[in-house]
Structure 1
Amino acid sequence: MSSQRAVVVGASHAGVQLAASLRSEGWVGEIVLVGDESVLPYQRPPLSKAYLSGKSALDQIVIRSAEFYAKQGIVLRDAKVEEIDRLAGNLRLSTGEALRYDKLALCTGARPRQLAVPGAKLREVYYLRTAADVELIRAAATPGRRAVIVGGGYIGLETAASLTALGVDVVVLEAAERVLERVTAPDVSAFFTRIHQSEGVEIRTGAMVEALTGEGTVREVVLAGGESIPADLVIIGIGVEPNTELAAAAGLMVDDGVLIDSGARTSDPEIVSAGDCTRQEVTRYGTSVRLESVPSAGEQAKVAAATICGKSKEVSALPWFWSDQYDLKLQIAGLNTGYDEVVLSGDPEQDRDFSCFYLRCGELIAADCVNRPRDFMFCKRVIAQRTPFERSELVTAN
């Protein structure tokens, strides 16, 4: 084996894929994957879905088995990287030791955005990002208890669906005028509001949280205007922030994410980065974005591994996302930023399946497809290849 050592910081979807891809791209040296959780790296999307609702155990959502790492010669280290010394080619670990690297990949992910109001540190106030978080929430989420979820984005709505399945009474508080306002058209927001309300979830929009109150343990959520909502537990889901401090301290370029090029290189061409911590130009849309998407993290990781191995590959796949709520699978193709027209297939006011197509100047740029996998595949192809289409094809794509 070569004396060269590649170190991947962050045992995330991106980190595991990058380590695995290094081997498939021909890296024959050491591979060290450093993560700060003392369990095998696991999938994060199921945390708010199957794992929270108790349908999956942790060993069922691991990304790779222990045998895989052993067979591929990937060493897992349970530690936190405190500092990058680019000149010396060393990492300072929380264990006190220095870890030498020849090639470095940063897959440091993101963390939940904190709710900055009085009482946010009370007991029974939770964030959902790790398996340990979910275990605490599940222990608190016993039937008949009242959970208040702050944030009506995907994580908040997925959590609401899972808690409802556990017999918990759920209230969702969204500061904007509709759930998913930042990412979907009004028709899609109205659809998910209708579905959740039909399942017994109370949804409050335009609800600004002013404080959490209770004697040591949260008991009420206080809204601007003075209204108090009783709560046995509170879950905060108001977005994430990229973990860029390590990169910034090392002098890498950071702007709401570690900036990478099409080959996943940071501003130091000897260091690559992938996953939720990164921001890159998406050529299809001519804009720089931080995608927070497992498929995108996986593709960036594969490209980053190729780059480390001296090969020329570029991140080029169309961004796509998904969300599972109740019996609904929402699949999202592309980015709808700047859309000026919406075309619907199906009736979101009545049905449990429909598609919402986003157009800009007559061009299809994105689609939200609920229980319509054929629409989703059709749209991925048309959007990515900019294939000409007739509007009638959108309505009949399914």
Structure 2
Amino acid sequence: MPLLKIATAIFAFAAFGGHAYADPVCDGTATTLPTTDDTAAIQTILDAGNIFNIPHGKLCKITQSLVITHNDSGLVGDGSGGLYMAAANFNNTSLAFGDRYGTHTVGIYAHGLLAAPWTPLVHPVIKGIRVVSEVQQGRSLSAVVVQNARQAKVIGNEIQGFPLGIGVRIQSCVLGCEVAENYIHDFVDNTTGWPVASVPQITGIEVDNDIWNNVSSYHVIIRDNTIRNMLVGAGFLAAYGYQTDCINTPRVTTYNTSITGNHLDTCAEGVDNFSIHAIINDNVVMNSYNFGIKNVHGASFVSVNDNTITNYGLAGIVVAGSSAAGDSNVDNIIVSGNNVSFGNYGGNWGGHDNAAVLVGMNGTTSIPVNIFVTGNILRPANGEYALNITSNSGVTVSGNLSFSGTKGVSK
């Protein structure tokens, strides 16, 4: 290194008390909100390719996205401290793609190059921090976004208080990207006036709503998360339906996703899956306004095994076709060893032939084929049926312990 560069670096290091940057203040606590803007100080640490360690029990105020673009860098804490996103700063009210990843939409934004040569970001880490939004409805935000990355780790965080939007967005992430042990909770919105075609949404964890360089995610691990209270109010419900998912994989080219050991409570749908070669096993899903676990829009080669689903609306587990242009058949879905109970949750789906397991031909472009429903315990209780299987829907049913609902065992 040239002597001038060495001298400059030493001066900068000394000038800031041993660091080449000013330390973030992080003056918020468990009982007081932060007032000092720490965005620039934290961003300087990330831009140097380092890890910012959130101080114990402290909240750091950010006024725009923190951006992670260096391999092996990120934010780490012990679970007690975190980031605060005030509504005055994170004020996006657009659902358009151009605003979806703006500096006043996303809290933590980790990404590789988003244009040629498309170099991915390797091993960004977001671990053990809280991401707290000011509670104010009528905005659309994302707490964490990871794009064009490998081996990303989003582990052990708490995300809370958001309006419309997404807790964790994973896109074009490959080779063992992991979203694990996070607590994502208490998102709510009851505003209207959003474009219906854009489908305003609240989601805990989402994979590949958008992708980059035509690369879908491969081998994303979603495990041991707790996601609860993804809520909309009556006005929103009347205008758009109950558009909330605990976990959503909305792209048929997303491959080899593992969704296991999650606790999913009070979402419209626990798992909404379009992806292929997925594993949806050993989850606890409860209080689902619509469906506990759903496979639609070409989802294929999926194992739905050993889940416990309690208090579902229209169906505990649904496999369904569609009429969307370009959808392939829903093919080779195994539904086995699940315990599904207590249908018509909330009393919203009476008279709709709700069932613990529903396989439907409700489509012309995509239909269910090679579906296996075996070895499940189905107790609809105040729901209408244990099984609702549309004729000629390509289903093999065997070995289930099925109890009668209010209309019988099966339809």
TM-score range, shorter chain: under 0.3
More strand by share: 2
TM-score, scaled relative to structure 2: 0.25
TM-score, scaled relative to structure 1: 0.25
More helix by share: 1
